[in-house]
Amino acid sequence: MPENFQRRKVLWPWLTLLILSGAVIAGVAWDVWPRSVDLSLLRSRVPEGQPTARPPVEHVRVRLFFPQEAKATLVEQERELSRQPLFADAVRSLIQALIEGSGPQGIAPLPPTAQVRQVFLDDFGILYLDFHQGIQSVTAGDAGRAGLGVAAIVLTLTTNLSEVKRVQFLEEGEELTAQIGAADLRRPVQPYFPRDESQPPTSKAPDGEQ
The structural domains of the chain, ordered by start, are 59-184 (3.30.300)
Single-letter amino acid, residue 95? I
Highest mean pLDDT among 128-132, 180-184, 198-202: 128-132
Predicted confidence band at 160 (pLDDT cuts at 50, 70, 90)?
Answer: very high
SS3 call for 128:
strand
pLDDT the model gives residue 210: 45
Round to whole Å and give the CA distance between 60 and 68: 24
Place 200 in a pLDDT band, splitting at 50, 70 and 90: very low
State the pLDDT confidence band at 102, using cuts at 50, 70 and 90: confident
CA atoms within 13 A on the CB side of 60: 13
> Is residue 50's pLDDT more than 90?
no
